[in-house]
Chains A and B, each alone.
Chain A
Amino acid sequence: MSDNEMDTQGAGVRRTVWRSVAALVGMFAFAFALVPLYDVFCRVTGINGKVDTNAQALVHDNMDESRMVTVQFITRNGSGLPWRLDVETRQVRIHPGQTSEVNFTFNNQSGAESWGRAVPSVSPSTATRHVRKASCFCFEEQRLEAGERLELPLVFQLDRDLPPEINTVTLVYTLYPVDGKQAPLQAAAKTIEGDEA
């Protein structure tokens, strides 16, 4: 093979290598870009029960009295925070458009103050976008002194355009420790998406 041909071949190989490296870097970045994209996608579509954690205005036009929907509340402790979360009633039956208030009780059962947060989730996920919360403890982190009890309200409505096939909506609140102060193992909670989400 002549030197000339060898040179063009070498240049071709170099070109292929650089293009591959560019593709590699791009795909690696893409994997990380999928993290916020996924989050935005889930919030916009309400998939995955990811709830908007901003207060929403209640709508005060008429409620739909022809329908009754059961709203169930489930509270869970996610990862070893020494707290209890209780709800005054396990379920309510309301009309779409009707405003309802339910009280939740946080109780720090340990001998030390700690920070925690109740992370909400809605099931079925198609109902997610139809739950409007005017006030919720789940919007922010809570700090409880040793042994402290704290009662906090949830004020919410179901949209009137809640899909007709949905007769039961379940709201799940899971307690998580905040800030790594009390965090067992690696449950340190640096929120990746911040507050704007």
Chain B
Amino acid sequence: MAPKVPPQPTLEQSSTAAEAGHGHAHEAPPKGLMRWLLTTNHKEIGSLYLIFSLVMFFIGGIFALVVRLELFQPGLQFVNPEFFNQMTTMHGLIMVFAAVMPAFTGLANWMIPLQIGAPDMALPRLNNFSFWLLPVAFGLLLSTLFMPGGGPNFGWTFYAPLSTTYAPPSTTFFILALHIAGISSILGAINIVATILNMRAPGMRMMDMPLFVWTWLITGFLLIAVMPVLAGVVTMMLMDINFGTSFFNAAGGGDPVLFQHLFWFFGHPEVYIMILPAFGIVSAIIPAFARKRLFGYASMVYATAAIALLSFMVWGHHMFAVGMPLVGQLFFMYATMLIAVPTGVKVFNWIATLFQGSISFEPPMLFALAFVVLFTIGGFSGLMLAIAPADFQYHDTYFVVAHFHYVLVPGAIFAIMAGVYFWLPKWTGHYPHERLSQWHFWLSVIGVNLTFFPMHFSGLAGMPRRIPDYALQFADFNMVSSLGAFLFGFSQLLFVAVVILCVRGGKKAPAAAWGDYADDLEWSVPSPAPLHTFETPPNYQRPAH
């Protein structure tokens, strides 16, 4: 590594330059563990985020398999209901906050500076801090499983009073863990927003930015807007539990329904935090493999912004069955359905991009195409749930479970995997192993659908969610779901194999690894990308359309 100090036009650098003399961090890169603990390099931090996310994906996955194992047959076979509840709760919390969100932050760290021609993130040392908060947060969260009374058992939505009056003693640690994770994503979001707004290559206007950058900018704003609300809710819980306040306690004049309003005011934008960057990834991959320009770039940007704005006005669709005046139900119903319009614009644009393209089916494209199809199924079931009178039937059944798993697994997670396959050549200099990737893709698609499609039916037939046992009539659907879940879970080992093999070797990739239509700035640097890139800003050339 060249001992040269890269020009880092950062807040920290300018404020600490005096005491630090000339340069730090990069001067004599520490070896071994310290290198990773202290790194301020966006690529290394990006890798740390991605590896952390992958580990958590497996831990959360094991919890899910415990759940599916118990539900394989009716009756109680393997775990007791108390532990079952901890498994469903931990699965949800880990997947949302420790797998999906850090994966997107990791991709942002790696790719956003490369895509806008910046040498690093705007605040590299803050970046290091944001990452290292995560192992602390989730180490703490996982440790609650071994505490007396067990870990959180109130569902990932931690509704009061289940999470206050009736919560296990470890709940204070759960709150602390969520606070730390929240601070991590807030700091990450500030960093990303600051990078995008201030560090673009000269000549790159906002409307020249790749869509992954755009969607992350908007996601960053969403995070800055709603993570403090989550922090507020858990703070209120903390005070109710430990300091005798009654925010959510009717006995003291509080109201548990208030909890749900506050939670979902955070929660619905949160689900878009988990999908907007996915839209950006897919919008990069589809043109690359259809060998056409993306159809409707500007409308993609506006649709993303519209979805983000609307997402603040629809939280009530999670609470139809809680009790709400008629006007409220109507408002939230129509506002929710309105989101389908910008979402539809996006799906339309992807299909229009594919139309008459010369399509090839490399692994990133396979995942991106599966994303478009299966995410749309999830969008449709969302629309069904948005119909307030019908939601009384579906609410808290497996139909809801089917809905959000379609948007999150073949939605968010497939997009992350598509992104990893797409950018692996840039990261490692090698193409991912073709055969193995194909196996991974097909087993995943089959597994996902086997797992989640039958849940639509068991849900419509009335099977409640979050229960360790169920009526005999649901036995067949559940058996299929469980078999699918194990298939899906174990196929992810193939993914690990592909990534490891790709780091080790494989077919060499050139700088522009995916041809003429993957032509954002990241494809102008060599593959693998050197540790320091764009130390002098590139000359941004607008592609001729």
Contact = CB atoms under 8 A, between A and B. Distances in A.
Interface stretch (A132-140, A142-150, A172-180): A172-180
A186 B236 CA distance: 13
Contacts of A190: 244-246, 252
Contact of A1 (B9, B194, B246, B255): B9
Given A1-B536, A28-B231, A31-B262, A13 B198 contact: yes
Contact of B261 (A7, A34, A119, A192): A34
B159 to A, nearest CB: 16
Given A27-B228, A186-B241, A192 B246 contact: yes
A51 B317 CA distance: 25
A186 B165 contact: yes
Interface residues of B, number: 53
B64 to A, nearest CB: 31
A17 interface: yes
A184 to B, nearest CB: 9
Query: Which among B228, B251, B323 has the highest number of chain A CB atoms within 10 Å?
Result: B251
Please classify the interface of chain B as helix (H, G, I), strand (E, B), loop, or mixed, using the class held by over half of its residues.
helix
Contact of B228 (A31, A42, A47, A187): A31
Interface residues of A, number: 51
Query: Which among A21, A27, A50, A192 has the highest number of chain B CB atoms within 10 Å?
Result: A27
Please classify the interface of chain A as helix (H, G, I), strand (E, B), loop, or mixed, using the class held by over half of its residues.
helix
A183 B251 CA distance: 10
Contacts of B123: 13, 17
A47 B322 CA distance: 12
B323 A48 contact: yes
B284 to A, nearest CB: 25
Nearest to B258: A38
Contacts of A50: 255
Nearest to B202: A5
A23 B224 contact: yes
Contact of A35 (B227, B247, B251): B247
A128 to B, nearest CB: 11
A62 interface: no
A187 B261 contact: no
B369 interface: no
Contact of A39 (B189, B198, B255): B255
B198 A28 contact: no
B233 A31 contact: yes
A17 B190 contact: yes
A9 interface: yes
A190 to B, nearest CB: 6
B262 A188 contact: no
A192 B325 contact: no
Contacts of B199: 9, 13
A9 B198 contact: yes
Nearest to A193: B253
Contact of A187 (B198, B233, B251, B262): B251
A189 B536 CA distance: 63
Given A34-B261, A48-B323, A187 B232 contact: no
Interface string B183-194: 000100110011
B330 interface: no
Contacts of B261: 34, 38
Given A1-B537, A191-B246, A13 B251 contact: no
Nearest to A26: B228
Contacts of B250: 78, 119, 174, 176
Given A24-B224, A34-B261, A10 B14 contact: yes
Interface in A12-57: 12-14, 16-17, 20-21, 23-25, 27-28, 30-32, 34-35, 38-39, 42, 45, 47-48, 50
Contact of B251 (A23, A31, A177): A177
Given A119-B250, A187-B249, A13 B194 contact: yes
Give 7 closest A-B pairs by Cβ, nearest first. Answer: A31-B232, A176-B251, A12-B198, A188-B244, A189-B252, A27-B228, A6-B9
21 contacts: A1-B536, A12-B194, A17-B123, A20-B224, A25-B228, A28-B231, A31-B232, A38-B258, A78-B250, A119-B251, A125-B325, A174-B250, A176-B251, A177-B251, A183-B251, A186-B165, A186-B240, A186-B244, A187-B165, A189-B251, A192-B253
Interface of A: 1, 5-7, 9-10, 12-14, 16-17, 20-21, 23-25, 27-28, 30-32, 34-35, 38-39, 42, 45, 47-48, 50, 78-79, 117, 119, 125-126, 174, 176-177, 180, 183, 185-193, 197
